[in-house]
A and B are shown apart, each in its own frame.
Chain A
């Protein structure tokens, strides 16, 4: 089994704050790998390093045997890495279907100049984009929302739309940042089943930050636990769940209170459902 993504010895510091230190994560083909850890552990920071929003100080990011550490984010997207955000990564000013059209950006078959001049090809491509977007909307079961604004849609629906737009970027590797936040237990369960189904139909590999333990145990093949920017442990979900250090990290047992450390670039809501 080959690895789709290898994070090797990655470390990043913001001023004096060590956000990540020597983190190694491997995501093998077709697996769903979980990334858990208390707030401020550096999970989203790791995602930002993988996507290129941050440049790590040490280490490298290998995607399908290619070092992508220096590529800008949009190139990584074009290579097939899709990413969702903790606080919904959608473009508020656009309608739902336009979001799906933006998401196909790296696969649009006309240049910016021919777009502005209005070449016949750009018109044809626009129709194709719209049809593709409608297809994805049908797939996730929301065709009736195509022309809605995002404002006012329920949170869970927005989350689903976000996952849909990321699918529209045509990813091989999906990075999900707390996909089940804001969902109830039933919805999270349904989401998990949906994810397994997606993996089957679209041949996806997934790296997922998740707090919802039943979901992690239910769908993940392997789990990494981060704490204070370092890997605490890794293993099969069941083994990790009962690992004493993990329990300590989440419940604050032997480790001192982690609230002093804020994760840069994100506002994580504390919702540890362990």
Chain B
């Protein structure tokens, strides 16, 4: 064997394949924590006052939009500054359909069928709009593509969003909620269903050949092509998926506000969406959801501080809704310089523990294979490339990791026997 001396010197199967796995109790604990988090979020949504449930719905919609942008930013590696275009088009399409075609009224509400049809149309229109941009992106990259997307957004703002039969001028197009989900709390739960759908699609996207193909394109198109990947098709697929998610987000946005006005979709919001994805952690689903929810809820949380509303309204003359665009850039700079993995990097010890690895504060406990290589890329690169969700990520248990293991219960128990390939004997920890 050429060059791979370690392969020759190591007994077969030893160094590699045996990975640390949690015990049954460990899995129960992990699943318990995960369910606890879900339950807490749902409980809070159910328990808070309706206007807070409405804000939570906004956070969920932001999370969906964040996941949409994440495909372009995190997986494809291009910047989209025109996402308000896709979201806005989808919102207007949904509102137009339920009001003008399905006959829903703010008083009479909407039936579920009309709502779902409106959502499908919204998703489809978002996908088409983004697919067109994807075709452009075949030829243009980087800064120039960012400029094209910027122009795209402005064109949507000044043309489509001004069409009066679609937007009813300044008064906005009504979009009545379905009768069964009319209250703010009910609607918030409905948005959770859509978020779950988007998360599922995103998970399958990344963990299948589609995601691998898209991530390969980001690295090198010639290499991807020589692996047999249809470069053209997968780039367009990536943009279509992004537009699909944006469309779902847009549709929900319409029903949440119950009346879509074009003022809602301006460049500032597209910029905020980009910032929240970067701060959440490019390519990382969990990070993006948390980052997006943070930016959606942040101004409301600040306003709820006693006296803050008065301070913002009277002393500063600005509402707190401007705050994200002030702290967003600051956090983005901090993220880019100091923590390229964003929020995802900060919480990675927790997320990796939940996925069944040892608890370790090491941001990058991966990739070590015992052989001398000095310079590992400093943390966050993996998060940036969206590979955190890979359960098969190596958990090379280096000695310092074991020392730092803060889960004595889990660590003390012997390993579960498991059928991983080439698993010979439990690792010797000295």
Contact = CB atoms under 8 A, between A and B. Distances in A.
Contacts of A92: 219
Given A95-B387, A148-B369, A190-B2, A116 B17 contact: no
A143 B218 CA distance: 26
Interface in B208-238: 208-210, 212-213, 215-216, 218-220, 222-234, 237
B428 interface: no
A258 to B, nearest CB: 25
B7 A141 contact: yes
A191 B4 CA distance: 11
Given A53-B222, A160-B4, 14 more contacts: A52-B225, A93-B385, A98-B390, A105-B213, A105-B229, A116-B241, A117-B201, A134-B421, A141-B7, A143-B17, A144-B13, A144-B16, A156-B3, A159-B2
A126 to B, nearest CB: 7
Nearest to A83: B226
A143 B228 contact: no
A94 B280 CA distance: 21
Q: Which of B16, B208, B226, B230 has the most CB of A within 10 A?
A: B226
Interface in B85-116: none
A130 B29 CA distance: 29
Given A95-B387, A143-B422, A115 B4 contact: no
Interface string B380-422: 0110011100101110000000000000000000000000011
Given A94-B212, A160-B2, A145 B230 contact: no
Contacts of A52: 225
B371 interface: yes
Interface string A141-178: 11111111101111111011000011001000000000
Contacts of B386: 93
B204 interface: yes
A21 to B, nearest CB: 23
Contact of A157 (B3, B215, B394): B3
Interface on chain A toward B: helix, strand, loop, or mixed SS? Answer: helix
A95 B227 contact: no
A159 B376 CA distance: 19
A168 B234 CA distance: 21
Contacts of A205: none
Nearest to B392: A147
B430 interface: no
Contacts of B374: 152
B220 A91 contact: yes
Contacts of B10: 144
B105 to A, nearest CB: 35
A105 B376 CA distance: 29
Contacts of B8: 141
B361 interface: no
A110 B16 CA distance: 30
A116 B227 contact: no
